[in-house]
């Protein structure tokens, strides 16, 4: 109701202002036409009067109206300018206009408009050549009319120009008074509407208060009480019955939902375990293939290489073992075993499983000591690097840079790539379980990385630009 009153007041005010503008335009248009007609009549009387001893032609116009033009302008309270048929100024009631070169000649556009624009005069009921130029100057609106002055034979001998200033003081004052009065009326109506709306809202919501309290306390995980309300309207009674029926259905749905959630939790756990087991299998296979391809019994460093490959395989086997041993406890998979370690060394060790020559490692220090689970730190790095590798488009020269540093008691690990980036639509979904833009994989890697980092009271974030690359940043405390 209040909004309706406000809209009505604004609409009526807008209509009033539009009406005022249209009325003002019609008033000035009609006034200029009346003034123009009166001045034309006055000029013709002078031309055809007995006191005029000059021949009525264009050359004699300045002589005929030498003194009379000032009297005519004073009587009609308007400036009068007379031009010849070529647009040159003949005489004007404005002092000094003869010396103003800018106003001595009419513009070609105006001359063309006068000759081609024919209007029907309502007073004389005769069609005549007429043109009105309307423009604004210094915030004020000016009209300037142009018509032909003719002799007794209706032959044009001069062009009459009447400049006219639109003064809206009186109309503006009337509009302001009208808006004030309608404003007071609408304030009264608004106060009345507020009072009525308050009383109606009290009456309507009184019966709904009990229902509202019950609905606010309704929970899926607990047993909810039904509503019992006496002396209600038919509509409220229908609402109460619908709510009570919903409570019965809700209890039945809660049992089914609990069962479904347990089954879903086991399915999600199985997917995550399968994903984590698959992660070390891929580098193990790559390591064995690389060893098989480069194996040379006669190589002097064959024992060092065998030892290096063995360490890599053992490392991944340990990861799989920790996942399998923690399978029975989904929330703690894999079990955390904090140890003091050199983050720089562990990250380099995690990168050894990758054979891509476009992976570069940098560290701000040779040694950054922190307390972290060795296996989980390796999982964080390998997941981020694998994600970066998979983001590389085929047509681009790939580059991945891993950096390790520290600041204010925190370890900072960044993984940057120049891949395809993350679109704006997918930025909020990157860390969601099962979200992936790849054709393979279950989209659990980044979700697990986030869980691991947050378990150690850390934070993971990323910045990405489409088709330019992505940078993931992991921060976690040293202690």
What does the pLDDT look like over 112-166, one tens digit per residue?
888 888 876 655 556 678 888 888 878 788 888 999 998 888 888 999 999 988 8
Q: Whole-model pTM above 0.85? A: no
Domain count, the chain: 2
Task: Show the domain range for 438.
Answer: 336-477
- Out of 120, 155, 172, a domain closes at 172
> Between 212 and 377, where is the model more confident?
377
What does the pLDDT look like over 332-386, one tens digit per residue?
445 567 789 999 999 999 998 888 889 999 999 999 999 998 888 998 999 899 8
Residue 411 has pLDDT above 60, yes or no: yes
Alpha helices in 207-358 (DSSP H): 208-216, 234-294, 302-325, 343-351
Share of the chain above pLDDT 70, in %: 85
Q: In this structure, is residue 329 part of a structural domain?
A: no
Least confident residue range of 61-65, 119-123, 288-292: 119-123
Q: In this structure, is residue 468 part of a structural domain?
A: yes
Q: Residue-wise over 82-94: b if at least 16 C-beta within 10 A, else e?
A: bbbeebebbbbbe
pLDDT at residue 404, as a whole number:
95
SS3 57: coil
SS3 458: coil
Q: In this structure, is residue 228 part of a structural domain?
A: no
Q: In this structure, is residue 283 part of a structural domain?
A: no
- DSSP secondary structure letters along 327-341: TT-GGGSSPP-EEEE
Q: In this structure, is residue 405 part of a structural domain?
A: yes
Q: In this structure, is residue 253 part of a structural domain?
A: no
Residue 343: CATH number of its domain: 3.30.565.10
Q: In this structure, is residue 312 part of a structural domain?
A: no
For residue 417, cis peptide bond before it (omega within 30 degrees of 0) = no
Pairing of strands 126-137, 118-121: antiparallel
- Out of 111, 140, 172, a domain closes at 172
Residue 330 has pLDDT above 50, yes or no: no
- Out of 122, 152, 172, a domain closes at 172
Residue 75: CATH number of its domain: 3.30.450.20
Residue where the block lists tokens 């800018």: 102
């Amino acid at each position: 109701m209040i909004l309706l009153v406000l809209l009505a007041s604004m609409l009526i005010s807008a209509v009033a202002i539009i009406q005022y503008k249209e009325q003002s335009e019609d008033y000035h248009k009609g006034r200029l036409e009346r003034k123009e007609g009166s001045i034309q009549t006055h000029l013709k009387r002078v031309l055809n009067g007995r006191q005029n001893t000059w021949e009525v032609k264009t050359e004699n116009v300045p002589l005929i109206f030498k003194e009379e033009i000032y009297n005519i302008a004073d009587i009609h309270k308007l400036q009068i300018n007379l031009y010849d048929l070529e647009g040159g100024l003949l005489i004007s009631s404005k002092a000094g206009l003869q010396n103003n070169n800018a106003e001595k000649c009419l513009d070609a556009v105006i001359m063309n408009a006068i000759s081609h624009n024919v209007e029907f005069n309502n007073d004389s009921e005769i069609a005549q050549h007429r043109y009105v130029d309307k423009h604004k100057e210094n915030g004020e609106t000016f009209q300037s009319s142009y018509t032909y002055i003719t002799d007794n034979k209706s032959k044009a001998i001069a062009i009459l120009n009447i400049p006219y200033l639109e003064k809206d003081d009186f109309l503006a004052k009337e509009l302001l008074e009208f808006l004030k009065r309608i404003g007071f009326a609408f304030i009264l109506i608004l106060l009345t509407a507020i009072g009525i709306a308050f009383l109606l809202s009290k009456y309507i919501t009184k019966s709904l208060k009990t229902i509202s309290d019950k609905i606010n306390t309704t929970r899926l995980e607990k047993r909810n009480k039904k509503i019992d309300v006496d002396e209600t309207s038919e509509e409220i009674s229908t609402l109460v019955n619908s709510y009570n029926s919903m409570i019965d259905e809700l209890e039945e749905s809660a049992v089914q939902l609990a069962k479904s959630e347990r089954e879903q939790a086991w399915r999600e756990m199985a997917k995550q375990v399968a994903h984590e087991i698959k992660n070390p299998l891929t580098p193990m296979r790559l390591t064995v293939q690389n060893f098989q391809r480069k194996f040379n019994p006669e190589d002097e460093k064959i024992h060092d290489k065998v030892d290096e490959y063995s360490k890599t395989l053992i490392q991944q086997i340990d990861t799989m073992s920790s996942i399998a041993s923690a399978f029975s406890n989904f929330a703690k998979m894999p079990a955390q075993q904090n140890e003091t370690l050199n983050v720089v060394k562990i990250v380099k060790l995690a990168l050894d499983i990758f054979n891509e020559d476009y992976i570069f490692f940098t560290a701000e220090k040779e040694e950054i000591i922190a307390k972290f689970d060795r296996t989980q730190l390796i999982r964080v790095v390998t997941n981020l690097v694998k994600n970066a590798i998979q983001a590389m488009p085929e047509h681009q020269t790939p580059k991945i840079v891993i950096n390790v540093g520290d600041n204010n008691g925190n370890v900072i690990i960044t993984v940057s790539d120049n891949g395809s980036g993350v679109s704006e639509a997918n930025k909020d979904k990157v860390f969601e379980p099962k979200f992936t833009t790849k054709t393979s994989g279950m989209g659990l890697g980044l979700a697990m990385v986030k869980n691991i980092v947050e378990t150690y009271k850390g934070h993971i974030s990323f910045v990405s630009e489409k088709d330019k690359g992505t940078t993931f940043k992991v921060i976690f405390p040293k202690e």
